[in-house]
Amino acid sequence: MSIILRLDRVMADRKMSLNELAEKVGISNVNLSNLKTGKVKAIRFSTLEAICNVLDCQPGDILEYKRDE
Asked whether 67 and 1 are in contact (CB, 8 A), the reply is yes
Domains in the chain with CATH codes: 2-66 (1.10.260.40)
Q: What is the pLDDT of residues 3-50, one digit of tens each?
A: 899 999 999 999 999 999 999 999 999 999 999 998 998 999 999 999
Closest CA to 43 of 2, 8, 5: 5
> Whole-model pTM?
0.89
- Single-letter amino acid, residue 58: Q
Q: In sequence order, what are the residues at sequence separation of 6 or more whose Cβ sits closer than 8 angstroms to the Cβ of residue 16?
A: 54, 55
Closest CA to 3 of 45, 32, 43, 33: 43
